[in-house]
Structure 1
Amino acid sequence: MNAIAPITDVRQHILDVAHPLLLRKGFTGVGLAEVLAAAKVPKGSFYHYFGSKEVFGEAVLEAYFTEYLGRTDTLLTGGPGTAAQRLIAYFDDWLDSQTGDEAQSRCLVVKLGAEVCDLSESMRSALARGTRGITDRLAGCIEAGRADGSIGSMPQGQDAQGVAIALYQRWLGASLLAKITRDRSSLDAAMRDTRQQLGLSSDH
């Protein structure tokens, strides 16, 4: 029988184990004992790395955004096609992640955003930094689309950053509504609105 490999990064292991728990139950719904039991680590290890549940929550969000922004960079700057095609690929990925069966792929911002902003200033700040990173990347791709001709002119009075923020807000709202109704129609509508706002035809 093969021996179980030792955990080489206990801090990251705790974060990895906690992520799906938080997606299912929220921040206040997950107790420290449940995290420790799932991670199979003693309480002392938790407090060695995090100090408090609030610090732990901030670390979970930072780890989530590090991974998410890396995937966003791959889709928006490393993918094939025009900037418009890469932008649509990003939102296709978002739609798939919100409608699939894998709970771990769901958006942690949708799950925790409203809950933790009133509980913790440090967690609110982590959410603000992470979401700004997303909208900055979307804006960069929109600007690239204008440069390569795959995206038309912006709506009157809006620059690439403003359009990026509006699109992100639209998709966050659609994701929350899809969660409430257990129906993907709001996400499909968000995709149609996105194409229209960027002046894209259905074949882009």
Structure 2
Amino acid sequence: MTSPKKSELTRSRILCEGRALVLAQGFGGLGLTELLTAAGVPKGSFYYYFASKEAFGCDMLNAYVGDYIAALDAIIARPLPANERLDSFFRAALEGDAGSMADRCLVVKLAAEIADLSEDMRQILDEGVTAVCDRLARLLREGADDGSIVPQDDPGSAAALLYSQWLGAAIIAKLSRRPQPLEQALADTRRRFFA
């Protein structure tokens, strides 16, 4: 197995540092000089790795969505009743290593900002949200089958509304700087969905 090239490692470091900076200050507030300094990359090197700031944003969001979906897929693959897997996913929104969903979710941070700024970035986040909702619908169907989740007339719509509730709760938690909106969303999810 070959090791990653230095340029691939540098590009990955720029994406990682960029994600942290975007979570802290938004996409529009991210300066390229600040990004390169944080990544330990010489000034003027940005365009070697990315065609534009928007291209960087697209690559950052693609990596973020990929990581998010992989984490959700790992939860879904656990040999547990569906309600326990669903609960695990949403508990992670409250208890993650990097803070709550309100602190680390790029959908919460960027949806309003990039919706009018970049069609490509908007589409990446929208497709990511759709992929999450599809997986949540799968859990709702599996839970109806295993008896752990109350059957839904339309699991796809129920999953989309459930995820929307959590995104809204994360935005309110971010505004209030309190975990209660996410805690309330978890309690409501359990009450409405768990058999």
Counterpart of 2:57 in structure 1 is 57
Counterpart of 1:140 in structure 2 is 138
The residue type paired with residue 90 of structure 1 is F
Give ranges in structure 1 of 5+ residues lacking alignment: 1-5
> Is 1:118 paired with 2:116?
yes
The residue type paired with residue 86 of structure 2 is L
Counterpart of 1:22 in structure 2 is 22
The residue type paired with residue 160 of structure 2 is I
Counterpart of 1:109 in structure 2 is 107
> Is 1:186 paired with 2:185?
no
Deviation of the 1:55 alpha carbon: 0.8
| TM-score, length-scaled by structure 1 | 0.86
Counterpart of 1:83 in structure 2 is 82
Following the alignment from structure 2 to structure 1, what is the Cα–Cα distance between the partners of residues 160 and 33?
38
| TM-score, length-scaled by structure 2 | 0.90
Following the alignment from structure 2 to structure 1, what is the Cα–Cα distance between the partners of residues 108 and 191?
24
Following the alignment from structure 1 to structure 2, what is the Cα–Cα distance between the partners of residues 79 and 46?
40
Following the alignment from structure 1 to structure 2, what is the Cα–Cα distance between the partners of residues 44 and 194?
48
Deviation of the 1:147 alpha carbon: 1.3
Judge conservation of contact 2:58–2:120 (CA < 8 Å) in 1: yes
> Is 1:169 paired with 2:164?
yes
Change in CA separation of 1:40 and 1:54 when aligned onto 2, cut-off 3 Å: same
The number of aligned residues is 190
Following the alignment from structure 1 to structure 2, what is the Cα–Cα distance between the partners of residues 144 and 101?
27
Change in CA separation of 1:101 and 1:152 when aligned onto 2, cut-off 3 Å: closer
Counterpart of 1:42 in structure 2 is 42
Following the alignment from structure 1 to structure 2, what is the Cα–Cα distance between the partners of residues 68 and 195?
22
Deviation of the 1:199 alpha carbon: 3.7
Counterpart of 1:151 in structure 2 is 149
Change in CA separation of 1:166 and 1:98 when aligned onto 2, cut-off 3 Å: farther
Following the alignment from structure 1 to structure 2, what is the Cα–Cα distance between the partners of residues 173 and 101?
13
Counterpart of 1:72 in structure 2 is 72
Give ranges in structure 2 of 5+ residues lacking alignment: 1-5
Deviation of the 1:142 alpha carbon: 1.0
Deviation of the 1:10 alpha carbon: 2.0
Judge conservation of contact 1:99–1:184 (CA < 8 Å) in 2: no
Tell me the percent identity.
Answer: 44
